[in-house]
Structure 1
Amino acid sequence: MGTSAGVGHSFHRDPAVAGKEAARKALEQAKIDKPDFVFVFATVGYNQKVLIKAIREATSRAPLSGCSGEGIITQETVIETNFGVSVMAISSDELRFKNARVKEIAGQSYKAGERLAEEVNPLLTSDDIACFLFADGLVFDFDPFWAAFDKSLRSKSPLPLFGGLAADNWTSQKTYQYHDDDVFSEGISCVVMSGKGDVAWGINHGCVPIGTKRTITRSKGNIIYEIDGVPALEALKDYFEEDWIDHWNKTTLNICLGFKTPEHLRKGYEEYIIRYIVGKDDREGSVTIQSDVREGTDLWLVRRDKELITSGMKAISRQIKDKTGTRKPKFVLQFECVGRGKVVFREGEKIELIRSLQKDIGGDIPWMGFYTYGEIGPITKYNCFHNFTSVISAVCCKERES
């Protein structure tokens, strides 16, 4: 049989109709009646429980994982809207998918890593390929999570992580994670993929530094209190526009933080690792990012560059082709930062950018993604967290002997 995958989408505003329509299209493209596994990405205008219930019913209650995003991406559409859902249906005798979840992770990222490892350990086998992770982008802190998850996971070899942080419609109020029938927030949905295959991936951000080097002088975990001896907000505000207090989302999408890429990652990545400022405390003058940072760390203010983003997409295509060789991917999952969508590109530019990547890798490959609040993907053999970045994961199967 091999592996069959199909993707469907819908923009219908009725969640029951949209879920069924997207699922039906996915099954039709895959040419299957009952899938082995289902991925779902959707935006937050829908009643999420009704949406997922409809998809589950239309896909014969196959195991399901996914999350909400700020927009959805397929071969047919690239759109950021409150009403959009995409479904990927997969049937395979080469690949296996097992899912897990944890809830109530706010302020407990280390504990969440331990708890998720407890759920994942019974699912592990000798031929595990990768783990896909969909976490709440409003409360997730990658570094303590990964330290605990990696330490507690009983895997014979490092398990590559791919995924994106769940997003909403720019309100930063509530995101959703999906696990079978369950729809929840402040949690993590996880998928372990095993079998006769591998993942070819590419990662690029396309940001450039502005201004001079700064130094973090007081921090705790993922909160930066002082930069160069003054409150972080005070140190950064010279780079912000005059109305930054009233338009914080706009400000942080134009300016973010860049940290020198660690030495052990530099052969496989760009000069800077990017961090989005997810929150601030006006009283303390602090800012919050989605990974931990130590006092004494140097940073730069960075901004996106359209030309670098465009050339970076071509670099992603080369990275993937180098790994796939002559094999054609069975399907692709894309995790694209919200800061690389409509906030920087006109609609036509945005669509053309992603279409060119899809054409390079394969215009007829089942392809699904979403606009995220953070991206996860390995640099060489090291699992890493990213912002303002595109992570493309192309799943391939091993060539069969003739």
Structure 2
Amino acid sequence: MRIVQAFKKENQSWKYTKSKVQLVNPLVLVFGNRMLLENEKFIKEVRAEFPYEHIVFGSTSGEIVDSMVLDESIVVTAIEFEKSSFKVKTANILDFNKNAQLLGESLYNTMAKDGLKHLFVISEGTFVNGSSLIKGIERGIHDKTLISGGLCGDDAKFEKTLASYKENPKQGEVVLIGFYGESLEISVASFGGWITFGPERLITKSNANVLYEIDGLPALELYKKYLGEKANQLPQASLLYPLNVTEHDKEHAVVRTILGINEEENSMTLAGDVPVNSKVQLMMTSVDGLSQGAFNAAKLANANRIKKPELALLVSCVGRKLVMNQRVEEEIEEVKNVIGNEVTITGFYSYGELAPYSGKSSCELHNQTMTLTLISE
């Protein structure tokens, strides 16, 4: 595996973290600020610097490169696989009447299955139901092919997100990257670092990822009581106080953050499903708690590997970034302390993370976690 990596801010020159060399048919991952991805001049600069065919774009709530967390930048990581290969498929949620499950099924059906080792998702993040997307992708999977990835971000604006493959970034795109080859070793882990507080309540009315009632009371009204003065900062304020959701037939809880609110219906739209009869509880954290969570995620991802990772794809939540603020790079440093300085690190801050629980093969949508995908040939 050969990797070239660089980052750039507007009106500044490229800065390389990995030496600039010519690669053969690389997978090029471009994670960047949404406003820059909408700038055609800037995209032309990216294409000129990395004149390759297989370019994948995704907007972010912060860009990760090496041990740095950047804002208002573009991070490009070009990966040449020497013993293995990749395929990229894409579809737009707007062509599926915003039905993420149908889109997921369609995307997976177009992906070649022979030798498929892993699937990595870079998805639109403002109106795709991440839980439904995973259900659709997994519907056709009969082996233990793992899925990881994330929902694109837009800082803390929640206005729109962008993604694409080959084309210029646009709204509604979901990109699925398949990795192939016996020589590949890919491990995944996800961990949060949040703790629950307050009473445990019951979801009494919901529809997929829209939450209407908790304990028979309007969900938004109840949530605002907990937020107090911060209620007028919704949905951004919800990133500091996510919900811990335990479905009645599941062993593990998932964390859910709020993507939008509907004042008329007194409802909240979350990044993933919140089924009726699920138990729900508020959560909170600290900078040290999140740093420890990142450390735990790295330990889990690195634990049973045969080879040392060469590439680390990190997807962390925008809520973590807001809590950690100026100390946000501490969670990247914790990851680096575990996986080593020689590993190329890239990734982004997201509106949702995709990964299975430790020891499981089925994928889940997570919020407020650090998720790692470690790759070597």
Q: How many residues align?
A: 371
Moved more, 100-109 or 296-305: 100-109
Question: Match of 1:240, as an amino acid?
Answer: L
Q: Does 1:283 align with 2:264?
A: yes
2:75 to 86, 94, 100: 86
The within-5 A match list for 1:235-274 is 235-245=222-232, 247-260=233-246, 266=252, 272-274=253-255
Residue 4 (structure 1) aligns with: 2
Residue 37 (structure 1) aligns with: 27
Q: Deviations over 1:329-377 (max 9, x none)?
A: 1211000101111x21242x22233113213211121110111011011
Q: Does 1:190 align with 2:176?
A: yes
CA distance in 2, matches of 1:294, 1:316: 27
Q: Does 1:132 align with 2:120?
A: yes
1:317 to 280, 298, 310: 298
The percentage of counterpart residues that share the same residue type is 22
User: Would the alpha carbon gap of residues 58 and 34 (structure 1) be closer, same or farther in structure 2, given more than 3 Å must change?
Assistant: farther
Contact 2:247–2:278 under 8 Å retained in 1: no
Residue 109 (structure 1) aligns with: 100
Residue 269 (structure 1) aligns with: none
Question: Match of 1:306, as an amino acid?
Answer: V
Q: Secondary structure at the match of 1:94?
A: coil
CA distance in 1, matches of 2:247, 2:186: 23
Q: Secondary structure at the match of 2:89?
A: strand
User: Would the alpha carbon gap of residues 252 and 264 (structure 1) be closer, same or farther in structure 2, given more than 3 Å must change?
Assistant: closer
Q: Does 1:157 align with 2:143?
A: yes
User: Would the alpha carbon gap of residues 214 and 176 (structure 1) be closer, same or farther in structure 2, given more than 3 Å must change?
Assistant: same
CA distance in 1, matches of 2:332, 2:49: 29
User: Would the alpha carbon gap of residues 128 and 378 (structure 1) be closer, same or farther in structure 2, given more than 3 Å must change?
Assistant: same
CA distance in 2, matches of 1:318, 1:148: 30
Contact 1:56–1:62 under 8 Å retained in 2: no
The within-5 A match list for 1:2-401 is 3-11=1-9, 13-14=10-11, 21=14, 25=16, 28=19, 31-46=21-36, 47-75=38-66, 77-79=68-70, 81=71, 83-105=72-94, 107-120=98-111, 123-125=112-114, 127-151=115-139, 153=140, 155=141, 157-195=143-181, 196-245=183-232, 247-260=233-246, 266=252, 272-325=253-306, 327-341=307-321, 343-347=322-326, 349-379=327-357, 380-397=360-377
CA distance in 2, matches of 1:143, 1:351: 29
CA distance in 2, matches of 1:263, 1:5: 43
CA distance in 1, matches of 2:267, 2:175: 30
Q: Secondary structure at the match of 2:368?
A: coil
For residue 28 of structure 1, report the CA deviation from its aligned partner.
2.3
User: Would the alpha carbon gap of residues 38 and 96 (structure 1) be closer, same or farther in structure 2, given more than 3 Å must change?
Assistant: same
Contact 2:68–2:332 under 8 Å retained in 1: no
CA distance in 2, matches of 1:316, 1:7: 24
Superposition RMSD in Å: 2.2
* Alignment TM-score, normalising by the size of structure 2: 0.91
Q: Deviations over 1:128-164 (max 9, x none)?
A: 111111111101112222222222x3x5523211111
Q: Secondary structure at the match of 1:140?
A: coil
The runs of 5 or more residues in structure 1 that have no matched partner are 267-271, 398-402
Q: Secondary structure at the match of 2:334?
A: helix
Contact 2:191–2:297 under 8 Å retained in 1: yes
Contact 1:32–1:91 under 8 Å retained in 2: no
Q: Deviations over 1:105-135 (max 9, x none)?
A: 4632122123222332xx332x211111111
Q: Deviations over 1:167-199 (max 9, x none)?
A: 113221121102013321112012111112121
Moved more, 302-311 or 379-388: 302-311
Q: Secondary structure at the match of 1:385?
A: strand
CA distance in 1, matches of 2:125, 2:227: 23
CA distance in 1, matches of 2:145, 2:248: 21
Question: Match of 1:315, as an amino acid?
Answer: N
Residue 400 (structure 1) aligns with: none
CA distance in 1, matches of 2:83, 2:178: 14
Question: Match of 2:34, as an amino acid?
Answer: V
The runs of 5 or more residues in structure 2 that have no matched partner are none
Question: Match of 2:113, as an amino acid?
Answer: L
For residue 27 of structure 1, report the CA deviation from its aligned partner.
6.7
User: Would the alpha carbon gap of residues 76 and 238 (structure 1) be closer, same or farther in structure 2, given more than 3 Å must change?
Assistant: closer
For residue 265 of structure 1, report the CA deviation from its aligned partner.
5.2
Question: Match of 2:176, as an amino acid?
Answer: C
For residue 253 of structure 1, report the CA deviation from its aligned partner.
1.5
For residue 262 of structure 1, report the CA deviation from its aligned partner.
7.3
* Alignment TM-score, normalising by the size of structure 1: 0.86
For residue 43 of structure 1, report the CA deviation from its aligned partner.
0.6
CA distance in 1, matches of 2:144, 2:242: 30
Q: Secondary structure at the match of 1:182?
A: coil
